[in-house]
Structure 1
Amino acid sequence: MTQAVSDAAISLTASAAARVAAIAERQGKPAILRLSVEGGGCSGFQYRFGLADVPEADDIAVETDGVRLVVDPMSLDLVRGARVDFVESLGGSAFRVDNPVAASGCGCGTSFSV
């Protein structure tokens, strides 16, 4: 059973939710974005995003505008309080994690250290 969490644990912006919904519709998948943290990257940890077909039993989930963001409990410890956003700029567009747990990050925006 997926656990719902308060907005303070992790959040998904409306911009990110809209982008996930568009990608999911184009790929014929449910609008479920999985965020996980893996070892590696230039700063020690890196974010991984992907569409999920179904949440795992122990996932933590939040919902914004009908789109669910799911995070496994181990990754949640490294992103607690974070906000997942989708940004578009002259340099391109990407999902971005504003992570208060991260002590530092790198220029690519997908790697961090604690």
Structure 2
Amino acid sequence: MIGCKKIFSCTKNNWQGITITNNASDQIKKLMIQNHNAKGVLLSIKQYGCAGFSYVFNIIEKPTEKHLLFKLNGAYIYVQEEEMPLIDGTSIDFIQKGFNQIFKFNNPKAQHACRCGESFGV
């Protein structure tokens, strides 16, 4: 598991946290290098698709105290604490097959997903 930011206690909140593979870590670092102001990526969710929610990655330049920090090998992922109940325990991988590349999310909270894999429901 990736560590929790100092103001956040995984055990106090009974969170499992967010984990990422080395492939995902490498790709996040590449995204951070492309934007020299980047402090990491913000993992958030939005209402989307037929199943209810979708994952969103955005570059974050100014994290706040409301963001939880998870890191691995120089890759930084920020999450807003209020979104943790929907994504806690999620593992993130980065998959490349030919010209196709995608971040893959394995969320134990997801009870169903749409057929195309773009949205999930809890």
Length-normalised TM-score, structure 2: 0.81
* Cα deviation, residue 2, structure 1: 6.4
| Between structures 1 and 2, the one with greater strand share | 1
Deviations 1:7-46 (CA, angstroms, capped at 9, x unpaired)? 9311122111111111221232335111101112221111
Mapped contact 1:60–1:71 kept (Cα < 8 A): yes
2:39–2:63 contact (8 Å) kept in structure 1: no
Distance 1:43 1:91, change over 3 A: farther
- Distance in 2 (CA, whole Å) between partners of 1:34 and 1:110 is 18
User: Structure 2 matches for 1:15-34, cutoff 5 A?
Assistant: 15-34=23-42
What is the alpha-carbon distance in structure 1 between the residues aligned to residue 20 and residue 91 of structure 2?
A: 6
Q: What SS does the corresponding residue of 1:84 show, helix, strand or coil? A: strand
Q: Larger Rg: 1 or 2?
A: 2
Q: In the alignment, what sits opposite 2:104? A: 96
Kindly report the root-mean-square deviation, in angstroms, between the aligned alpha carbons of the 2 structures. 2.2
Given that residues 28 and 76 in structure 2 are in contact (C-alpha distance below 8 angstroms), is that contact kept between their aligned partners in structure 1? no
- Following TM superposition, by how much is the alpha carbon of 1:75 offset from its aligned partner in structure 2, in angstroms? 1.4
The total of aligned residue pairs comes to 114
Q: 5+ residue gaps in structure 2?
A: none
Give SS of 2:25's match.
helix
Distance in 2, Cα, partners of 1:108 & 1:29: 33
Gaps of 5+ in 1: none
Q: How does 1:4-83 map to 2 (within 5 A)?
A: 8-83=16-91
**1:107 CA drift (Å):** 3.4
Distance 1:2 1:30, change over 3 A: farther
In 2, Cα distance between equivalents of 1:20 and 1:108: 24
Asked whether the 8 Å contact 1:34–1:70 carries over to 2, the reply is yes
Return the TM-score normalized by structure 1: 0.86
